[in-house]
Amino acid sequence: MVRVYVAEAGSSPVRINIVSPGPTRTEMRARAAPEEDPMTIKAPDAVAPLFVKLAAPECTLQGQWIDADEWLSGKFKL
């Protein structure tokens, strides 16, 4: 899907990437899985810096699917 968005953007200066945040401690997840211990799941602010890095002018990444857990573990570098 991200590659379709990139193709549609053409020569636009907009960079398009998709982030898969994985399990994240949110109200919606708590409602969907009330038996789950929320303290075993990463908080949204753990993933937020990834979005900041992707939005930075010096980031040239385009058309990527990024697994937030891989980024947090250092397996995926920007």
* Exposure letters 1-29 (e unless 16+ CB within 10 A, then b): eeeeebeeeeeeeebbbeeebeeebeeee
Q: What is the dihedral of CA 63, 51, 13, 8, to 10 degrees?
A: 40
The residue extents of the domains of the chain are: 2-73
pLDDT value of position 11: 86
pTM assigned to the model: 0.83
Tens of pLDDT, residues 8-40: 988 888 899 999 999 999 999 999 999 999 999
Tens of pLDDT, residues 48-60: 999 999 999 999 9
